[in-house]
Structure 1
Amino acid sequence: MDQELSYGSDDLEEPLTPVLRGAELVEAPDLICHTVRIVNVVFAGDPATGDWVLVDAGLPNSAGMIVEAAERRFGTGRPPRGIVLTHGHFDHIGAIVDLIGYWGVPVLAHESELPYLTGQRAYDSPVSSVEGGLVAKMSAWFPNELVRLSGRVEALPRDGTIPMLPDWRWVHTPGHTPGHISLFRERDRSLIAGDAFTTVRQDSVYKVITQKQEISGPPHYFTPDWASARESVKKLEELKPARAITGHGMPIAGEELAESLRRLVCDFDKLAVPSCGKYVN
């Protein structure tokens, strides 16, 4: 393997398998939410032209599933123009080295996220003692060693544009990580939220497995900056999205999305912030 491309040595297979594993949910003619075990990746692009971009890179050992789904939708020999990362946690970059090796495409992320993607800095450790269910308690065993994409990942333009997705712009939504971004398309108000907010309580085994829809903030055990997370949700609510694909949980749209986001903004401390934990105060 290229010395500049490597995973952390603590890579593992996520043990939880929700009922929607492998589901493909069409949110617009050119927007697909594809579930890879407990996390969503997004295919943004037109199957007729084969011009598309992958948003996020799934869990460790999921490259084969992502490639198979992509080739089923866009055809073989049609790699994406690139990969855009909402952030660099293990469940969003787990297959990135394999996908770069297979497709040879560029990777873009926020400049504040680059140190965590090039082996310079490590994320704050997950907090297994945080308020929440069994997933939170298991988080101490989640991968947190450095991924190294030196020379293969670039910073997104500072003006909010995404070169390979001209109809979209990125929005800085920190809190869950320093360089977390969401993606927004004005013409149909489509939102790819990453983990700025979720539509499932990611700390609960039961809710993860059943994918019981429940709007919430970012995962309790992996969010070190709740003040910034609160402001990020407010920023996204002000965009008035018509539909949203989140990193975890089923997509949400229409009045259900609007009302859920309003409620999350108004009651963020109650609905999103854990009552205890290392990063709460």
Structure 2
Amino acid sequence: MTSIGSGMGVSVLPDVYCYTDQIVNLVVVGTPYEFVLIDTGMPKSAEQIKDMIKERFGENAVPKAIILTHGHFDHVGSIVSILEDWEIPVYAHDDELPYLTGKKDYPPGDPNVDHGLVAKMSPMFPNHGIDISKHVHPLPSDGTVPHMNGWKWIHTPGHTPGHISLFREQDRTLIAGDAFVTVKQESLYKVITQTKEISGPPRYYTTDWDAAYESVKKLEALKPKVAVTGHGIPISGEELSKDLQYLVVHFDEIAKPESGRFVN
């Protein structure tokens, strides 16, 4: 699966760059002197990601760290290959570490949550954990983010137990991961065309819908002015405000599936 935006990036802000790898977004935050990589895209994309960073920051540019919103295959797909060349730390939430140290696998995708083709294909997606024990560390308990001055991490579980989002209060910038997205991720047509549409976390991988709802409420309460999501196009201003409010009010209708392994 590859969207029309694959291989393209957009400067959301001067120091926030969103890059699309096939169907998922990763984010580079910072300046050439100090920057971090948030998530590592799809499997077999390591060289493509490194080329993107070279183009943005120069031939010898290396991030200070990798921050993971969570450990699903489309967000850590290239991390093992990247870490073979870059001896840098990786940070994730405590509750996500079992999936990043080879101790646990995620549940397989649930095809019964939606009629969309991506949902039906989801049991074939990789669900195994990875082992990057030598590199991964828990995020600081005080909410700060290493090498991201002014940002804080926010625990936004539901999609996974240790899912996090990142927020900078100074300009109210949100990196939401998959806590909510701006494309209906279950639909192959909408994924390929990147049709803009506020949506909850990808249904086929979400395991706790009560927690997912509370996470969306938590993010809406921050009143972000711009948001980069794990899937879909960045969103900002009044459109973001209205769409997030609508998602909170109509979460059961928009986000939560009527049936599925983790519903009710």
TM-score (norm 1): 0.93
In structure 1, the residue matched to 2:107 is 124
Matched, 1:24 2:9: yes
Per-residue deviation at 1:104? 1.2
Instruction: Give runs of ≥4 in structure 1 deviating > 2 Å.
Output: none
Confirm whether residue 272 of structure 1 aligns to residue 255 of structure 2. yes
Percent sequence identity is 55
State whether structure 2 residue 231 is matched by structure 1 residue 262.
Answer: no
The code of the aligned residue for 2:13 comes to: A
Deviations 1:218-248 (A, max 9, x none): 0010001000000000000000000000000
Residue 201 of structure 2 is aligned to residue 223 of structure 1? no
Aligned residue among 66, 84, 87 for 1:83: 66
Whole-angstrom distance in 2 between the partners of 1:35 and 1:189: 22
Show the counterpart of 2:18.
Answer: 33
The 5 A counterparts of 1:1-281 are: 16-47=1-32, 50-281=33-264
Query: Cα deviations across residues 88-133 of structure 1 (Å, max 9, x unaligned)?
Result: 0000000001111121110000011001100111112210122230
Residues 71, 129 of structure 2: 8 Å contact kept: no
Letter in structure 1 aligned against 2:21: V
Q: Could you tell me how far 1:279 is from its partner in structure 2?
A: 0.7
- CA drift of 1:158 comes to 0.8
Q: 1:13 aligns to what?
A: none
Query: Partners in 1 of 2:115 and 2:80 — Cα distance?
Result: 32
**So what's the TM-score if we normalise by structure 2?**
0.99
Deviation digits for residues 45-85 of structure 1 (CA, Å, limit 9, x no counterpart): 113xx310000010000111110000100111120000000
Which amino acid is the alignment partner of residue 268 of structure 1? Answer: F
For the residues of structure 1 that align with 2:94 and 2:128, how far apart are their CA atoms? Answer: 20
Structure 2 contact 181–232 (Cα < 8 Å) conserved:
yes
2:242 partner letter = E
The answer to whether the 8 Å contact 1:84/1:107 transfers is: yes
CA distance, structure 2, for counterparts of residue 81 and residue 132 of structure 1:
41
User: Structure 1 residue 151: deviation in Å?
Assistant: 2.0
Structure 2 gap segments, 5+ residues each: none
Structure 1 unaligned residues grouped into runs of 5+: 1-15
